[in-house]
């Protein structure tokens, strides 16, 4: 189904029609195109994710504000995107509950609903290694939407979760039957059974018709194409919470290394998205722009350094600053044209400040792997205005 899959990319590449070319000379002298059923992106804008076999990265350097357009939301699948018929869709909740229940999509939409703007980030969201890497390539596995759905706590009450239930298993209806164990408390706190994203039904890539959404927690746990929740009294130790999504770390006190498991919360992070590779800037006033977020609550401060971390200035945060949400920060700076390094660091409401990669590796040891890396990410600004990533190699 290349057509259905490929159309937006095609449309981007269709370019300008003959009729439009005529308009370009003086659009005020020729009637424009008529209103339509569905809007188009301008043919002049090439906004695309960067796909691999298993993921696709959001073009962070091209985005403004805090909402990620749904069709540019990052993707990470463990065996592709299933096509789920909403009329046949069912969510089953069972295990340590009084009333094992099957909900249709229509059933779920009848419950009291909530909406919230929150980020979703893959816990393997850090790449480095060469200078010519954009924000998309370094950290494009984070995106933000307004999610709408029913609170999991509402469904927990509906099925009567037993007091003995401490964990629940969330299972996807994809070809990986993605499965994660989640503390029941998160279900009572703020988990959402989401069926809409940025005003419309979830996109297939984000779990259509229904996904779990765990605000602030590593993306893999927000199981897409959700089909089953089983309440239990212990975690299942599925492959995605043992073989994967775990981090070798130093033992406290320096004994033999440990493997950290159930690292759910996404640590506070920030990233300058402008100026950033591949942008080129001019000397003079530059508004440094970026995103900051924390899985543990609200961002309280972002600082920007324009002298390679020697001194820091407090950036402005675009209001409203939401809980567990991407925040847009901005910092006005006058560049004198000399080569320098610029970077940002965030502090969240728990008092945690984003570390350098060196601090992370010192703390966890060199074998820690690629999960939960949230380092300060400097950009090198050359005298000619070109901007490059500063590779952060440690392995």
Partner 1 sequence: PIVPTDTIPGRFGFGRAASAAHLTRLDSDVRPDGIGLPPGSGTAGQGAVLFRAKCAACHGPGGTGGPNGALVMTAPADALALSGKRPERVIGNYWPYATTVFDYIRRAMPFNAPGSLIDDEVYALTAYLLSANKVMDSTMVLNANTLPTICMPAQHLFVPDDRRGGPEIR
Applying CB under 5 A, does 3 fall inside the site for Ca ion?
A: no
Applying CB under 8 A, does 239 fall inside the site for a second copy?
A: no
Applying CB under 8 A, does 51 fall inside the site for a second copy?
A: yes
Q: Nearest approach, Cβ of 323 to a second copy (angstroms)?
A: 10
Pick the closest to residue 385 from 324, 337, 319, 353 (CA basis). 337
Q: Nearest approach, Cβ of 38 to Ca ion (angstroms)?
A: 13
What is the helix (H) or strand (E) element at residue 194, kind and residue range? strand 192-197
Q: Which of 109, 203, 239, 330 binds ligand HEC (CB under 6 A)?
A: 239
Q: Nearest approach, Cβ of 179 to partner 1 (angstroms)?
A: 6
**How far is Cα 343 from Cα 375, in angstroms, rounded to an integer?**
10
| Residue carrying the six token digits 């993707």 | 75
Q: Which does 190 bind (CB under 5 to 8 A by kind): a second copy, Co ion, Ca ion, none?
A: none
Nearest-CB residue for Co ion: 263
**Piece in contact with a second copy (CB under 8 A), picked from 69-77, 93-101, 118-126, 127-135:** 69-77
Whether 380 contacts 131, CB under 8 Å: yes
Q: Nearest 5°: phi and psi at 142?
A: -140, 140
Instruction: Tell me if residue 193 falls in helix, strand or coil.
Output: strand
Applying CB under 8 A, does 173 fall inside the site for a second copy?
A: yes
Q: Which of 50, 78, 177, 203 binds ligand HEC (CB under 6 A)?
A: 78
What is the helix (H) or strand (E) element at residue 105, kind and residue range? helix 105-110
Q: Nearest approach, Cβ of 123 to Co ion (angstroms)?
A: 4
390 alpha-carbon distance from chain centroid: 22
Bridge partners of 145, per DSSP, are 118
| Residue carrying the six token digits 């899985």 | 295
Applying CB under 5 A, does 331 fall inside the site for Ca ion?
A: yes
What is the helix (H) or strand (E) element at residue 154, kind and residue range? helix 152-159
Bridge partners of 342, per DSSP, are 379
Q: Which of 2, 3, 4, 87 binds Ca ion (CB under 5 A)?
A: 4
The contacts of residue 31 (CB under 8 Å, 6+ apart) are: none
**Piece in contact with ligand HEC (CB under 6 A), picked from 19-27, 236-244, 284-292, 306-314:** 236-244
Residues in contact with Ca ion, shown as a per-residue x/- string from 222 to 251 under the rule CB under 5 A: --------x---------------------
Nearer to partner 1, 28 or 319 (CB): 28
What are the C-alpha distances in Å from 279 to residues 62, 135, 204? 10, 11, 32
Cβ atoms within 10 A of the Cβ of 301, count?
A: 17
Binding residues among 298-357 for ligand HEC as defined by CB under 6 A: none
Applying CB under 8 A, does 314 fall inside the site for a second copy?
A: no
Applying CB under 5 A, does 263 fall inside the site for Co ion?
A: yes
Q: Which does 69 bind (CB under 5 to 8 A by kind): ligand HEC, partner 1, Ca ion, none?
A: none
Applying CB under 6 A, does 243 fall inside the site for ligand HEC?
A: yes
Q: Which of 90, 104, 111, 165 binds a second copy (CB under 8 A)?
A: 111
Binding residues among 207-236 for Co ion as defined by CB under 5 A: 218
The contacts of residue 328 (CB under 8 Å, 6+ apart) are: 64, 65, 66, 289, 290, 291, 317, 318
Q: Nearest approach, Cβ of 244 to ligand HEC (angstroms)?
A: 6
Whether 310 contacts 104, CB under 8 Å: no
> Contact residues for ligand HEC (CB under 6 A)?
78, 176, 239, 243-244
> Contact residues for Co ion (CB under 5 A)?
123, 218, 245, 263
């Amino acid at each position: 189904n290349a057509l259905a899959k490929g159309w937006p990319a095609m449309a981007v590449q269709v370019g300008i029609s003959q009729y439009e070319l005529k308009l370009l000379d003086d659009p005020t002298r020729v009637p424009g195109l008529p209103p339509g059923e569905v809007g188009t992106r301008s043919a002049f804008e090439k906004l695309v994710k960067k796909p691999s076999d298993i993921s696709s990265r959001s073009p962070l350097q091209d985005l403004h504000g805090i909402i990620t357009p749904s069709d540019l939301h990052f993707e990470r699948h463990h065996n592709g995107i299933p096509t789920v018929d909403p009329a046949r869709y069912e969510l089953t909740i069972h295990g340590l509950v009084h009333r094992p229940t099957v909900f249709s999509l229509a059933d779920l939409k009848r419950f009291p609903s909530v909406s919230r703007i929150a980020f979703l980030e893959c816990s393997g969201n850090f790449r480095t290694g060469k200078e010519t890497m954009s924000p998309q390539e370094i950290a494009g596995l984070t995106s933000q939407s307004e999610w709408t759905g029913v609170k999991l706590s509402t469904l927990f009450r509906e099925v009567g979760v037993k007091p003995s239930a401490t964990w629940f298993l969330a299972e996807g209806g994809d070809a990986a039957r993605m499965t994660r164990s989640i503390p029941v408390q998160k279900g009572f706190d703020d988990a959402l059974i989401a069926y809409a994203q940025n005003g419309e039904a979830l996109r297939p890539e984000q779990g259509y018709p229904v996904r779990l959404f765990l605000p602030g927690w590593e993306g893999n746990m927000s199981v897409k194409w959700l089909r089953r929740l089983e309440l239990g009294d212990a975690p299942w130790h599925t492959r995605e919470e043992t073989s994967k999504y775990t981090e070798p770390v130093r033992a406290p006190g320096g004994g033999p290394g440990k493997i950290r498991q159930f690292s759910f919360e996404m640590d506070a992070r920030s990233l300058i998205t402008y100026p950033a590779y591949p942008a080129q800037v001019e000397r003079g006033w530059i508004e440094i722009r970026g995103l900051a977020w924390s899985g543990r609550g609200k961002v309280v401060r972002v600082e920007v350094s324009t002298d390679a971390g020697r001194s820091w200035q407090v950036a402005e945060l675009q209001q409203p600053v939401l809980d567990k949400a991407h925040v847009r920060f901005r910092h006005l700076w006058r560049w004198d044209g000399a080569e320098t390094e610029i970077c940002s660091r965030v502090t969240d409401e728990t008092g945690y400040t984003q570390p350098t990669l060196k601090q992370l590796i010192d703390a966890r040891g060199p074998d820690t792997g690629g999960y939960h890396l949230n380092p300060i990410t400097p950009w090198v600004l050359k005298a000619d205005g070109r901007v490059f990533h500063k590779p952060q190699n440690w392995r």
